[in-house]
Amino acid sequence: MSKQTKKTKMPEQNPQQRVNNFGEVALGYSAEDAINEAKRCLQCKNPLCMQGCPVEVDIPDFIALVAEGKFEEAAKKIKEKNNLPAICGRVCPQEEQCERKCIVGIKNEPVAIGRLERFVADYARDKEEIEAVTKQDKGKVAIIGAGPAGLTAAADLAKMGYQVTIFEAFHEVGGVLTYGIPEFRLPKAIVKDEVEKIEKLGVEIKLNHVIGKIKGVDELFEEGYDAVFVGTGAGLPRFLGLEGENLNGVYSANEFLTRVNLMKAYRFPEYKTPVYIGKRVAVIGAGNVAMDAARTALRLGAEESIIVYRRAREQMPAREEEIHHAEEEGIKFKLLNNPIRILGNKEGFVTGMECIKMELGEPDQSGRRRPVPIEGSEWVMDVDTVIMAIGQSPNPILLKDAPEIETTKWGTIVAREETGQTSKAGVFAGGDTVTGAATVIEAMGAGKRAARAIDEYIKGSKK
């Protein structure tokens, strides 16, 4: 057994330096680091880590190859199951997935599976050769949305020999990988590269196609598609309905991050999309999106960037690693505070935000202690930008056109967990559009399961 009790450290840009750029924070393992870390793996006969991976990567096998220095073979091993390893290695919450189940993690820190996956994918990036799968006459599948769920389903179906077309509303692929997660966590060049490899499998991608507007689901069937996968995510921003919420300087996190990440507003005026950033920025919410927004605000030049959250530190839904990075960079936290009103000047710009202090009461239905306002504790925060990061719902455009697809009262699509089958024959769904905003890897897992179910469905219907 290895003597090293902790994960091999990954080099990072130091916080003072990195708040001034959009470069990646975590710099990745060297070959030496990777081999060293891979040797911590016990090569379990019955590997529990694999149970924690929604896309079923053969974890001990690839790690064994890394330990031997066979990095390209390791990359191939991962790619058998996971089409986006450089992305997953960076953004998966491994502490809740594979690494949570790692045996080494019982007494010591678990094996750094995510970091190893990332290393292997980065190492193999320029060396891999993708061979297009020979298209068999198995059928045509339309995928709506080029986010993690759609890309995974598309790649798996292409590998099975289907003709796959992805329809994407934006001018770039990737979904939340492109417009949501910032460059400093996930460089867009990496997303582009992994997606290009999926295209090389023979997947066709049609950009600027808003399904529900340019054509409907039924028209896709009329055009000869045998099945449709809906992976349209949860992109509809929520607001709190506060007075002053439409003042200039109040953004949804979606808008703020789309301007910066997709439209590259951080390179304005070289890129022409502007973004407004004040001196003091309040971000409402404490999930990963809130951390991304707060850290982005700092990099755009805000003097102070403050997370405002109505519960306490222990209840913050963001990944521990992201909270840690945010703290290192100087993000402030005003916990147990809830905004009640946004204040503005006569030109319509934000000048402040009235908050009320909260305390934790009895646990609610979800088991979390419910925040209760403390009467008379109102106070005004001096801010000029407010970013709402309180969650998203699925976008209703597609479903307006296809009302026969059953949805829940939250607007999510009703689909079977194991297959993604919706209430409409031949239509499958997965990812955030079914679960509400969740994680990249869960969306990929859903895409993988749906691909399998679509294969069975088409085989069945063609008999």
Partner 1 sequence: MYKILEKEVLAPKITKFKVLAPNVAAKAQPGHFLIVRVDEQAERIPLTIADYDRQEGSVTIIVQEVGYSSEEICKLEAGDSFLDLVGPLGEHIETENYKKVVCVAGGLGAAPLYPKAKSLSEEGTEVITILGARTKELIILEEDFAELSQQLYISTDDGSKGHQGFVTDVLKEVLEENDDIDLVITIGPMIMMKFVSELTKEYGVNTMVSLNSLMVDGTGMCGGCRVTVGGETKFACVDGPAFDGHLVDFDEQLRRQQFYSDHEKLAHGHEIGGEGCRVKAN
Stretch 20-39 residues interacting with partner 1 (CB under 8 A): none
Q: Is 252 in the site for partner 1 (CB under 8 A)?
A: yes
Nearer to partner 1 (CB atom), residue 75 or residue 277? 277
Among 27, 136, 271, 301, binds partner 1 (CB under 8 A): 271
Q: Is 401 in the site for partner 1 (CB under 8 A)?
A: no
Among 6, 269, 362, 366, binds partner 1 (CB under 8 A): 269
CA atoms of 318 and 88, how far apart (whole Å): 17
Shortest distance in whole angstroms from residue 386 CB to partner 1: 13
Among 69, 274, 361, 363, binds partner 1 (CB under 8 A): 274
Token pair 């680091």 is found at 33
Nearer to partner 1 (CB atom), residue 209 or residue 280? 209
Q: What are phi and psi of 229, to 5 degrees?
A: -110, 125
Query: What is the separation of C-alpha 89 from the centre of its chain, rounded to a whole number of angstroms?
Result: 12
Nearer to partner 1 (CB atom), residue 208 or residue 461? 208
Shortest distance in whole angstroms from residue 141 CB to partner 1: 20
- What is the amino acid identity at position 144? I
Other C-beta atoms closer than 10 Å to the C-beta of 403 total: 9
What sign for the dihedral angle of Cα 448, 451, 457, 462?
A: negative
Q: Exposure of 133 by Cβ count < 10 A (0-12 exposed, 13-18 middle, 19+ buried)? A: middle
Numbers of helices and strands, H then E, in the chain: 18, 16
225 closest CA partner among 167, 281, 267: 167
Among 96, 255, 304, 327, binds partner 1 (CB under 8 A): 255
Count of residues that interact with partner 1, criterion CB under 8 A: 41
First-to-last C-alpha distance (Å) of the chain: 54
Shortest distance in whole angstroms from residue 394 CB to partner 1: 10
Q: Exposure of 17 by Cβ count < 10 A (0-12 exposed, 13-18 middle, 19+ buried)? A: exposed
Q: What are phi and psi of 367, to 5 degrees?
A: 90, -10
Among 135, 171, 313, 459, binds partner 1 (CB under 8 A): 171
Q: Is 13 in the site for partner 1 (CB under 8 A)?
A: no
Among 4, 36, 273, 351, binds partner 1 (CB under 8 A): 273
Q: Is 340 in the site for partner 1 (CB under 8 A)?
A: no
Q: Is 213 in the site for partner 1 (CB under 8 A)?
A: yes
Which residues sit at the interface with partner 1, rule CB under 8 A?
Answer: 169-171, 207-210, 213-215, 235-237, 239, 241, 245-249, 251-252, 254-255, 258-259, 263-264, 268-274, 276, 347-348, 395-397
